A = this chain, B = another copy of it.
Amino acid sequence: MLTAAHTQYLNNLVGAENFYTDPAHLQAYAYDATRERHLPDGVIFPRHEEDVRQILAYCNEHQIIIVPRGAGSGFTGGALSAHGGLVLSLEKHFDRILEIDEKNLIARVQPGVINKHFQNEVEKRGLFYPPDPASQDQSTLGGNVSENAGGMRAAKYGITKDYVMALRAVLPNGDVIRAGKKTIKDVAGFNVAGILIASEGCLAVITEITLKLLAKPKLKQSAMGVFSSIQDAMEAVYKSMASGVTPVAMEFLDNLSIRAVEERFNKGLPTEAGAILITQVDGSVPEQISWQLEQIEKHFRENGCVDFRVAQNAQQEEDLWFARRNASQSISVYGKKKLNEDVTVPRASLPALLQEVERISQAYNLPIPCFGHTGDGNVHVNIMLEDPATQLEKGQQAMEEIFKSAIALEGTLSGEHGIGLSKARFMPLAFTPEEMALFRRIKSAFDPNNILNPFKMGL
């Protein structure tokens, strides 16, 4: 796809140190967290926005595919060049925090800044950036915006889109656009920033992000509730939140997940429990913390909670969260390969969703440990395959049934991970032909030659 002339042009533009076509380097940009591999024809590292502009304009003219890439930590292949072309990596030269404006509680960053690095920098100043995807140590803010990343704190603080105030971006034709403002209120022009968020790199290359910050809450405290059945736990989630408490996080592990963590780490977890809920509240004064924990305990106990433990110090806090943090890696005890998806339903439909997962697990005779962000209805379902060679098709059928159940419960195919390549074939389960046609027209409005991350999202 890349001719000698293209290679020469791009090489001259950014310099040989910022443009690779040798197999070793291409291999390094062929992967993401899906474990699929797709070799690009080249990897280019723009040094600044003007490079992005020139690269896009050139590739648009010559119909060369561009796949924007942050850290490559995505779960759905959004940063994979499944159809060749150029990977445009923002990790090398777009990694600066440009401004932390403490007067306005706003930051301006480049898209290659690592989420956790940014969190640390703002917290040093007593400020707070809530979105905390599990990938926060690796994933970039540009990737977070492109996938609209969530995390554990979404129950109270929302997700990436709730913090994006403005973007700068380059369109495939080389036009530089600004979208949004540094102001809470801005109703001039179409909400272009809104449509760029979660667009999975299909519409434009983001070159600068303006994010809203909060003051860091002074106090926080965590608690764990143990439930004999998962149904009880799921009822407790939505009933406690409907009562007027909004915890920072309301996470759960099902019995399989609890037992997996216990098997690996031996932490004295309640292995007979149907589920545990781990929650955290925050605030400015101690009375606010205790009021929230009292309310949660009351609603937990009314819904079958047999044990409620409040962390009394940092160590206990750490211990309570240990099980949740180690669930994802621990469930490998159930199989060599996992098919993991992140379906999401309205909270009150969690009991029904988990019942469906149980039914599907039995019907397909596959263990499906579940854990995740029940506070926002987001469940990580993990179909475990002991022998992937013979079980893969069965596992995929089971996953399709789970998707259908989630959608029937007014939920979504993906709460956090996006669609990318992995879920592209499921889009018709969730969207009508008319809705898919609208997506394609929006794509064309930004990218008429379809050079930016084509074929992703089922487009």
- Interfacial residues, chain A to chain B (CB-CB below 8 A): 101-106, 126, 147-148, 150, 154-155, 158-159, 161-162, 171, 175-179, 181-192, 194-195, 197-199, 203, 214-216, 218, 238-239, 241-246, 283-288, 291-292, 344-348, 373, 376-378, 410-419, 423, 427, 430-432, 434-435, 437-439, 441-446, 457
What is the total number of copies of this protein in its complex?
2
Write the nearest CB–CB distance from A57 to chain B, whole angstroms: 12
Contacts of A413 in B (CB 8 A): 188
Instruction: Name A169's closest neighbour in chain B (CB-CB).
Output: B438
Contacts of A154 in B (CB 8 A): 184-185
A292 to B182, CA, bound (A): 25
Question: Which has the most chain B C-beta neighbours within 10 Å: A175, A203, A417?
Answer: A175
Q: A287-B288, A348-B101 are in contact. Are A148 and B376 (CB under 8 A)?
A: no
A187 to B131, CA, bound (A): 15
Pick from B102, B183, B190: contact of A242, CB below 8 A.
B102
Closest 8 CB pairs of A and B: A194-B194, A215-B244, A185-B415, A103-B348, A175-B434, A441-B445, A184-B376, A287-B287
CB pair B414–A188 under 8 Å, yes or no, is yes
A244 to B187, CA, bound (A): 26
Contacts of A190 in B (CB 8 A): 195, 198-199, 203, 439, 442-443, 457
Q: A238-B104, A434-B176 are in contact. Are A189 and B419 (CB under 8 A)?
A: yes
CB pair B288–A292 under 8 Å, yes or no, is no
CB pair B434–A177 under 8 Å, yes or no, is yes
A244 to B246, CA, bound (A): 19
Contacts of A183 in B (CB 8 A): 344-346, 376-378, 410-412, 415
A63 to B155, CA, bound (A): 46
Write the nearest CB–CB distance from A414 to chain B, whole angstroms: 5
Write the nearest CB–CB distance from A277 to chain B, whole angstroms: 17
Instruction: Name A412's closest neighbour in chain B (CB-CB).
Output: B186
Write the nearest CB–CB distance from A303 to chain B, whole angstroms: 13
Contacts of A346 in B (CB 8 A): 101, 103-104, 106, 182-183
Contacts of A239 in B (CB 8 A): 103
Instruction: List 26 A-B pairs, Cβ < 8 Å.
Output: A104-B238, A105-B242, A106-B346, A150-B185, A154-B184, A158-B184, A161-B194, A162-B162, A177-B438, A184-B378, A185-B377, A188-B412, A188-B414, A188-B423, A189-B430, A189-B435, A191-B195, A192-B435, A192-B438, A194-B195, A215-B242, A285-B285, A287-B288, A438-B445, A441-B445, A444-B445
Write the nearest CB–CB distance from A262 to chain B, whole angstroms: 29
Write the nearest CB–CB distance from A172 to chain B, whole angstroms: 11
